[in-house]
Structure 1
Amino acid sequence: MSATYSELRAQLATLTTEAFRPELAEIDQLPTAEIAALMNGEDATVPAAVARQLPAIAAAIDATAERMARGGRLIYLGAGTAGRLGVLDASECPPTFNTDPTQVVGLIAGGPSAMVKAVEGAEDSKELAAEDLTALGLTADDTVVGISASGRTPYAIGAVEHARAHGALTIGLSCNADSALAAAAEHGIEVVPGPELLTGSTRLKAGTAQKLVLNMISTITMIRLGKTYGNLMVDVRASNEKLQARSRRIVALATGAPDEQIETALAAADGEVKNAILMILADIDAPTAAERLTDSQGHLRAALHAKTD
């Protein structure tokens, strides 16, 4: 056990995300306003770290969208903070893009209870990741994103290795350079924001970096899949009063139609924003709009162009 502990300690000492910053050794002695300013300055460096990986991020997104257009799923796997961020991103896709809850999935080492309480040892098991993916019925059309700040978490690496062996697209998102996770994946994304304000607290800059990249992966993939019209969320699911109001506003912004026409179209389209917009702009009825959207695989622009064909 001591040998394993020594090896792990040696590994951590080489990681940028675990580096100790002596200049901050007395941060607890500073006034709150100064600590807040320090944290704010640290956070401001994260977007630049993400920017350096934009080519790799874009390539991964294009490959993901291609798989999802064939019916594949986007599956995030991670432990601790990384896993929670994946679950968060996945859970926001149904209300934002009207995706089926099975299309974008977040798995955290140790299962749902690990969202609020650490599950001892779960992150150390490659086998657990393989079991979790097998339980999902992994296919070659799926995309698996392993997320790990250190880039060495066995659960994330195991997920990528298992997925790649079964023909799925694999993405490894890490916050250290030359990581085992990125090396194991077809698409390695290594956003390196540097040592944390609190030594090894990767829920800080590393967590912010991961959130920014996951935002890009899900959002741009959905744009590529036709879930938006311009910068409007035309597949938004109106599940509450706020979203119902937003639905009406989106139709108004897309069409410039008066409120009465918008209400009539939304009612005929059973609340589907994309269908209502197409009905108004193409001057067609609800069944025709639904048929054109089906023919265009849900891409509103393509369905609009179909009216002149």
Structure 2
Amino acid sequence: MTDRPTEARHSQSAGLHQQQPAEALSLLLDAQIAALSALRPALPALGQAAAVCADALSAGGRMGYAGAGSSGLMAMADCLELAGTFGLPPERTPMLFAGGAAALLHMKGSVEDDSTQAQRDVEAAGIGAGDVLLVLSASGGTPYALAAAGAARQRGARIVGLANVPGAPLLEMADIAVLIETGAEIVAGSTRMGAATAQKVALNMLSVLVGIRLGHVHDGHMVNLVADNAKLVARAARIVSEVAGVPAAMAEAALAASGGGVKPAILVARGMSPERAEARLRETGGHLAPLLD
């Protein structure tokens, strides 16, 4: 393990404990920014991953997430946002987290080594042919992550592996390997810092690109959002108003006529009936652009 770059001493870490708060925070910020710069070489692989995930979801499959510890938390943060942001039902985006719900209150390191539980989690989630599993591990060697990837692949799923160490086992076994080479942490081995930050941003970008490919993002608007609180109801009305080019009152009326669906409401506001709007969206696979141009 000591050979892993994430376990090495950072060049700026000497004397960190003696720094004044402002200087220490500046070093920590610089380390986070440097970690993000490691994403640029990973962009082609992230694009490939988004394509296979979008294809799986379009064909009725699922896009699952799996991870342990900090990597698992980054995966969960992205996974849980997909329903509200892009209208993806939670059953289409299962989350496999080492230790389950109990580990969210008290994360025990031992669950990261539980390969048997990872296999059980894959089986319980029903991950298999037609699905994609995003597996995250900073070291790329976490037993839970490797076992989840192996079990899902045996059941016919495609594996996207995200890791921060070159040549990691997870990257070797993945169908699509996403290396985010963040290097040494300024607190040696604390991959909740640079490595986790880069993983979170990688997932943000990947899932947004998936949303774009599915037609759930139009001109930077989340046109498939689920408006289940006052803030999102207001946002939905603003989106309909801006995309359809109609006043707020007309946008609200179109939303009401469409049962709250943003995409059909945009078309209703442009003159379609709710039934026609739904039919046309089915024809385009949920993409608005062909119906607005």
Whether the TM-score (by the shorter chain) exceeds 0.5 is yes
| Aligned match of 2:236 | 247
Amino-acid identity (%): 37
Q: Of residues 80, 96, 99 in structure 1, which corresponds to 2:85? A: 96
Separation in structure 1 between the aligned mates of residue 213 and residue 196 of structure 2, nearest angstrom: 26
Once the two structures are TM-superposed, the CA of residue 95 in structure 1 deviates from its matched residue by 0.9
Contact 2:94 2:125 in 1 (8 A): no
| Aligned match of 2:44 | 55
Contact 1:108 1:115 in 2 (8 A): no
| Aligned match of 2:14 | 25
| Aligned match of 1:279 | 268
Once the two structures are TM-superposed, the CA of residue 75 in structure 1 deviates from its matched residue by 0.8
| 2:120 partner letter | E
| Aligned match of 1:174 | 163
| 1:297 partner letter | G
> Secondary structure at the residue paired with 2:94?
strand
| 1:161 partner letter | G
| Aligned match of 1:71 | 60
After TM superposition, the structure 1 = structure 2 runs for residues 186-265 of structure 1, keeping only pairs within 5 Å, are 186-265=175-254
Once the two structures are TM-superposed, the CA of residue 242 in structure 1 deviates from its matched residue by 0.8
Once the two structures are TM-superposed, the CA of residue 38 in structure 1 deviates from its matched residue by 0.4
User: TM-score, normalised to structure 1's length?
Assistant: 0.91
| Aligned match of 2:103 | 114
Structure 1 consecutive aligned stretches of length 4 or more whose deviation exceeds 4 Å: none
> Secondary structure at the residue paired with 1:52?
helix
Separation in structure 1 between the aligned mates of residue 88 and residue 134 of structure 2, nearest angstrom: 18
> Secondary structure at the residue paired with 1:167?
coil
> Secondary structure at the residue paired with 1:203?
coil
Contact 2:12 2:27 in 1 (8 A): no
Change (3 A) 1:157 1:98: same
> Secondary structure at the residue paired with 1:42?
helix
Once the two structures are TM-superposed, the CA of residue 32 in structure 1 deviates from its matched residue by 0.2
| 1:299 partner letter | H
Aligned residues: 293
| Aligned match of 1:294 | 282
User: TM-score, normalised to structure 2's length?
Assistant: 0.96
Change (3 A) 1:23 1:261: closer
Change (3 A) 1:52 1:183: same
Structure number with greater Rg is 1
Change (3 A) 1:121 1:258: same
| Aligned match of 1:4 | none
The answer for unaligned runs of 5 or more in structure 1 is: 1-11
Which is worse superposed, 215-224 or 291-300? 291-300
Separation in structure 1 between the aligned mates of residue 190 and residue 267 of structure 2, nearest angstrom: 48
> Secondary structure at the residue paired with 1:123?
helix
The answer for unaligned runs of 5 or more in structure 2 is: none
